[in-house]
Amino acid sequence: MSASVLYDAPGPKAVVRNRIYAVLGSLAILALLAVSIVRLSDKGHLAPEMWDIFNYSGIRENIADGVVATLKAFGLAAVGSLVLGVLLAVARLSDHKPVRWAATGFIELFRSIPLLITIYAVWVGFLTDYSMWALALGLSIYNGCVQAEVLRAGVNSVPKGQREAAYALGMSKTQVMVSVLMPQAVRAMLPTIISQLVVTLKDTSLGFIILYPELLQTARLIASNTQVNGQYPYVSTIVVIGCIYVAMCLALSGLATWIERRGRRAKTGITMAPAAAPVTAADPVGAVVGAGAEVPDGRDGTTN
């Protein structure tokens, strides 16, 4: 729905009023920006030397290393969380009560604990010398639980007839799961799965706290080791690193939107969940199903 339903096509008076609001609004926003820029340049953060540091090949290499380290942790965590997600989803849908209960308990426990605390506990408890693996493992556990719930919602959204037809053909339960239900569930949930991967990518920045030299940690090291004009270039480093993060995340979300659009075009009769509904908190199933039912433009979701 476009916003225009909330108000009529403006008449002459409303046009004038809207223009006044537009001017006032832009002035307020510009004033805020101007104040920020003036204050920053007063403190010398906008001096050319502060931004010159990014011309040094050493600092560029540092940033490139940081990006590689971030992507490495992200890749490991992505694979780990997807594998764990499939395993947990299958376990949650199992016919055996103990397996189902164990999986449910695991998912509920790790989903309700802050990710940072899981990562920190893994780091201190088991992998003190391997911060990359601690980060990847922590991320895999948490996001695996979320992906499991997403996949479960996907399996449950496959029409009942599919399962019944597969059983009627004499397939075993494993065959039904592997060759009928899971492929359709993954396909239906692909946008949501990728949106959750965006969350995973963002969360690699928690490696900062366990001293893994990923992008953010690199940024902090650059900022606190380089002194320009007697000051530390926190502002310029944060701006540059922030742009890199936003670009990476937007690229991944763009992929989700593209896949969603492709899925909508294909006429398979399986509906795709809308993209960008990263599900983390209380009730992913409800959130996913709810998002599918309620959000027509598909750009809204929950949070992390």
Partner 1 sequence: MNVLLDNFSEFRDGFIGTVEITAVSSVIALVLGLLLAGFRVSPVPPLRFFGTAWVTLLRNTPLTLLFLVFFFVVPEIFFPGMSPFLLGSLALGFYTASFVCETVRSGINTVPLGQAEAARSIGMTFTQTLRLIVLPQATRTVIPPLSSIFIALTKNSAIAGAFSVTELFGWQKLMSDQGYDIVPVFVWVALGYLVVTFAISGAFRLLESRMEVAR
CB 207, min distance to partner 1, A: 9
Note whether 152 binds partner 1 by CB under 8 A: no
Which residue of 74, 106, 212, 245 would you call a contact of partner 1, by CB under 8 A? 245
Note whether 304 binds partner 1 by CB under 8 A: yes
Note whether 290 binds partner 1 by CB under 8 A: yes
- CB nearer to partner 1: give 166 or 277: 277
Note whether 283 binds partner 1 by CB under 8 A: yes
Note whether 234 binds partner 1 by CB under 8 A: yes
By CB under 8 A, the residues from 63 to 102 that bind partner 1 are: none
Stretch that binds partner 1, among 80-88, 107-115, 148-156, 180-188 (CB under 8 A): 107-115
**Beta-carbon neighbour count of residue 248 at 10 Å?**
19
By CB under 8 A, the residues from 262 to 281 that bind partner 1 are: 279-281
- CB nearer to partner 1: give 58 or 286: 286
Contact partners, residue 223, CB within 8 Å, separation at least 6: 232, 233, 234, 237, 238
Note whether 287 binds partner 1 by CB under 8 A: yes
Question: Residue 6 CA to chain centroid, in angstroms?
Answer: 31
- CB nearer to partner 1: give 249 or 270: 249
By CB under 8 A, the residues from 165 to 204 that bind partner 1 are: 198, 202-204
- CB nearer to partner 1: give 271 or 303: 303
- CB nearer to partner 1: give 177 or 207: 207
Note whether 285 binds partner 1 by CB under 8 A: no
- CB nearer to partner 1: give 50 or 182: 50
Q: Which 3-state string (H, E, C) describes the chain?
A: CCHHHHCCCCCHHHHHHHHHHHHHHHHHHHHHHHHHHHHHHHCCCCCHHHHHHHHCHHHHHHHHHHHHHHHHHHHHHHHHHHHHHHHHHHHHCCCCHHHHHHHHHHHHHHHHCCHHHHHHHHHHHCCCCCHHHHHHHHHHHHHHHHHHHHHHHHHHHCCHHHHHHHHHCCCCHHHHHHHHHHHHHHHHHHHHHHHHHHHHHHHHHHHHCCCCCCHHHHHHHHHHHCCECCECCHHHHHHHHHHHHHHHHHHHHHHHHHHHHHHHHCCCCCCCCCCCCCCCCCCHHHHHHHHHHHCCCCCCCCCC
Note whether 289 binds partner 1 by CB under 8 A: no
Note whether 33 binds partner 1 by CB under 8 A: no
Which residue of 246, 258, 261, 271 would you call a contact of partner 1, by CB under 8 A? 246
Note whether 13 binds partner 1 by CB under 8 A: no
CB 302, min distance to partner 1, A: 5
- Residue that is written with structure tokens 């019944």 in the block: 164
Note whether 220 binds partner 1 by CB under 8 A: yes
